[in-house]
Structure 1
Amino acid sequence: METLGDRLKQMVRTFRRECHRVLPSERTTVHGADGMLMVLQLAMAEVNKQRGREFKVSLSDVLMAWKHLLLDKLHLPPPDFARPESYDLTREAYDAFLKSSNTVDLLDVASMYKRLRVADLDPEEPVSQMQLFDFLSGKTHVPESPRTPSRKACSSQVKTAVRRVFCSYLSLLVNSKNDMALALALDVPSRSLGRRAFTDIKHAARDNDTSLFLAVTSFVRAVQLGGRGYAPAECDPLRKHVKGLSEFVQFVDNLEEILGEIPDPSACGARLVAAIRAVLVKGRGGADEVCAAAEETAEELKERICQLRQIQTQTANGSGTGISPARPRAYAVNHATAFGGRDAVKLLMALLDEEALNPPGSNKADLLCEDQPVLSGAEASCVLVLFRSPEVSTGGSPEPLRNRVQSRVDLLRPKPRERALRSQFACTYADEDPPLSRVLDFPSGSQAPTCKHPAPKPKTPAVGDDVEDAASAEPSSGGPDQARSEAQRGAALRQGSGNAPVRGAGQGGKKTQGRGNKRKQLDSENEPPQKKPILKMPGRKKLIAGQGKLTSFFRV
Structure 2
Amino acid sequence: MKAFGDALTQMVKTFRQECPRLKQSERTTVHGADAMLMVLQLAMADVSKQQSGEFKVALSDVLMVWKHLLLHKLHLQSPGAARLENYDLILEAYEGFLKRSNTVDLVDILSVCKELRGDSEELVSPVQLFEFLSGNKGDGPASSVSSTSCSSQVKAAVRRVFYSYLSLLINTKNDLALALTLDVPSRSLGRQTFTDVKHAAQNSSTSLFLALMSFVRAIQLGGKGYAPAESDPLRKHVKGLSSFVQFLDSLEEILGDTPDPSVCGSKVVLAIRAVLVKGCSDEDAVMAAAEETAAELKDRICQLNRIQKETSLAGGTGISPARPKAYAVNHATAYGGRDTVKLLMALLDEEALAPPCANKAELLSEDQPVLNGIEGTCVLTLYRSPEVSTGSSPEPLKNRVQSRLDLLKSKVGPRTIRSQFACTYRDQELPLNRVLHFPSTSQVPTCVHPAPKPKTVAVEVLVSDKPLSSEGHMATGVLAPKSGNAPLSRVPGLVNTKKTKGSKRKQADVEKIRHEDEPPQKAKQRPRTKAKKKLIAGQATLGSFFRV
**Structure 1 length as normaliser, TM-score?**
0.74
C-alpha displacement of 1:348 = 0.7
1:55 matched residue in structure 2: 55
In structure 2, the CA distance between the partners of 1:186 and 1:453, relative to structure 1 (3 Å rule), is closer
Which deviations, in whole Å up to 9, do the C-alpha atoms of 1:366-401 show, x marking residues without a partner?
Answer: 1112111111111221111111111222213487xx
C-alpha displacement of 1:64 = 1.2
Distance 1:58 1:232 in 2: 40
Residue 184 of structure 2, aligned match among 185, 188, 195: 188
Distance 1:254 1:535 in 2: 106
2:279 matched residue in structure 1: 283
Residue 419 of structure 1, aligned match among 403, 414, 418: 414
Aligned pairs for 1:3-14 (under 5 A) are 3-14=3-14
1:234 matched residue in structure 2: 230
Aligned pairs for 1:30-109 (under 5 A) are 30-78=30-78, 82-109=82-109
Distance 2:222 2:18 in 1: 43
Aligned pairs for 1:222-261 (under 5 A) are 222-261=218-257
- SS of the counterpart of 1:338? helix
Amino acid corresponding to residue 346 of structure 2 in structure 1: A
- SS of the counterpart of 2:371? coil
CA contact under 8 A between 2:55 and 2:384: conserved in structure 1?
yes
Q: Which runs of 5 or more residues in structure 2 are unaligned?
A: 431-480, 491-500, 502-532
- SS of the counterpart of 2:290? helix
Report how many aligned residue pairs link the two structures: 450
- SS of the counterpart of 2:488? coil
Matched, 1:212 2:204: no
Percent identity of the aligned residues?
63
In structure 2, the CA distance between the partners of 1:227 and 1:330, relative to structure 1 (3 Å rule), is closer
Amino acid corresponding to residue 126 of structure 2 in structure 1: Q
- SS of the counterpart of 1:228? helix
Matched, 1:139 2:136: yes
C-alpha displacement of 1:7 = 1.5
In structure 2, the CA distance between the partners of 1:398 and 1:344, relative to structure 1 (3 Å rule), is farther
Distance 1:534 1:345 in 2: 119
Aligned pairs for 1:131-530 (under 5 A) are 131-142=128-139, 144-145=142-143, 150=148, 153-320=149-316, 323-332=319-328, 338-397=334-393, 404-413=396-405, 414-415=408-409, 417-419=412-414, 450=483, 454-456=487-489
Which deviations, in whole Å up to 9, do the C-alpha atoms of 1:201-229 show, x marking residues without a partner?
Answer: 00000001110000111101111125221
Which deviations, in whole Å up to 9, do the C-alpha atoms of 1:375-430 show, x marking residues without a partner?
Answer: 1111221111111111222213487xxxx222122133352844267899xx9xx9
Distance 1:358 1:79 in 2: 31
C-alpha displacement of 1:541 = 2.6
Which deviations, in whole Å up to 9, do the C-alpha atoms of 1:135-190 show, x marking residues without a partner?
Answer: 0000001263455664xx31111111101100111111100000000000000001
Distance 2:147 2:130 in 1: 31
CA contact under 8 A between 1:68 and 1:79: conserved in structure 2?
no
- SS of the counterpart of 1:329? coil
In structure 2, the CA distance between the partners of 1:268 and 1:421, relative to structure 1 (3 Å rule), is farther
CA contact under 8 A between 2:328 and 2:334: conserved in structure 1?
no
In structure 2, the CA distance between the partners of 1:39 and 1:78, relative to structure 1 (3 Å rule), is farther
- SS of the counterpart of 1:541? helix
Superposed CA RMSD in Å reads 3.2
In structure 2, the CA distance between the partners of 1:105 and 1:549, relative to structure 1 (3 Å rule), is farther
CA contact under 8 A between 2:301 and 2:343: conserved in structure 1?
yes
Amino acid corresponding to residue 40 of structure 2 in structure 1: L
- SS of the counterpart of 1:104? strand
Matched, 1:125 2:119: no
Distance 2:118 2:330 in 1: 29
**Structure 2 length as normaliser, TM-score?**
0.75
Amino acid corresponding to residue 405 of structure 1 in structure 2: L
Distance 2:360 2:84 in 1: 19
C-alpha displacement of 1:114 = 2.4
In structure 2, the CA distance between the partners of 1:252 and 1:422, relative to structure 1 (3 Å rule), is farther
Which deviations, in whole Å up to 9, do the C-alpha atoms of 1:11-33 show, x marking residues without a partner?
Answer: 11111121111111101000000
Distance 2:429 2:206 in 1: 69
Distance 1:534 1:282 in 2: 101
CA contact under 8 A between 2:286 and 2:371: conserved in structure 1?
yes
CA contact under 8 A between 1:14 and 1:117: conserved in structure 2?
no
Q: Structure 1 residues 533-542 or 385-394, which shifts more? A: 533-542
Amino acid corresponding to residue 55 of structure 2 in structure 1: F
Amino acid corresponding to residue 57 of structure 1 in structure 2: V
In structure 2, the CA distance between the partners of 1:218 and 1:319, relative to structure 1 (3 Å rule), is same
Amino acid corresponding to residue 130 of structure 2 in structure 1: F
Which deviations, in whole Å up to 9, do the C-alpha atoms of 1:469-498 show, x marking residues without a partner?
Answer: xxxx9xxxxxxxxxxxxxxxxxxxxxxxxx
- SS of the counterpart of 1:218? helix
C-alpha displacement of 1:49 = 1.7
C-alpha displacement of 1:356 = 0.4
Matched, 1:541 2:533: no
Distance 1:534 1:81 in 2: 124
In structure 2, the CA distance between the partners of 1:538 and 1:177, relative to structure 1 (3 Å rule), is same
In structure 2, the CA distance between the partners of 1:415 and 1:87, relative to structure 1 (3 Å rule), is same
CA contact under 8 A between 1:36 and 1:105: conserved in structure 2?
yes
Distance 2:390 2:178 in 1: 31
